[in-house]
Amino acid sequence: MAIWRVPARPLPMGPVLFLDRDGVVVEDRHYLAEPDDVALVAGAAEAMAAARRAGFALVGVSNQSGIGRGRITAEQFAAVMVRLDGLLAAAGASFDAFAYCPHAPDAGCACRKPAMGQLDELRAAVPWLPEQSWVVGDKESDVALGRRAGLRAIHVATGHGTEEMAAVQAAWGDDPLVLAAADLPAAVQMILAATEEGR
């Protein structure tokens, strides 16, 4: 497991929005290696900024098997993240913390989603209230990670979302804490509405 960013001091315990990167925040480019290829999903930065204004910390959790497969280097990943951070910062939506798994799927690691390694590593720096926190992703593994951690989950249709829909429905279709949305902006609207209802 690797960390790209953690806050200088632990954040106060509170609501956290955990976000997959590729296909949720940025357009999925299949082993994104070049900073110039970073393109935000439409409305993603503005949605993240709205969540931050509502009191959510923004935390990225991402499987980056391209590193373990030798398709991209750690340096290329870091350069992509710097570019992404600049785009998000312009909207007031930078990640407070970002963890990623650099291993290939067959590595047997404890950090590839839906394993809990990324969340376990982040817990001290970004403690969260499970009943107030959410995960948003485009794959069944994102949903599974969230539910294992006791979080509500939203599966979005962007990225791999459409092709993963059947798997999510089969695994989580009866779970009332697993929702579906068109994209990250729609997911954040649902989250903010649910937050308001809970107050």
The SS3 call for residue 27 is coil
The SS3 call for residue 191 is helix
44: closest CA among 77, 64, 61, 21? 21
Which residue blocks in 69-183 are alpha helix, DSSP H? 74-89, 117-122, 140-148, 161-172
The SS3 call for residue 153 is strand
The SS3 call for residue 137 is strand
3-state helix, strand, coil in the chain (%, to 5): 40, 20, 40
Both tokens assigned to 163: 């092709």
Which residue blocks in 10-154 are alpha helix, DSSP H? 44-53, 65-68, 74-89, 117-122, 140-148
Asked if 20 is an active-site residue, the reply is: yes
Asked if 183 is an active-site residue, the reply is: no
Q: Which residues are known catalytic residues? A: 20, 22
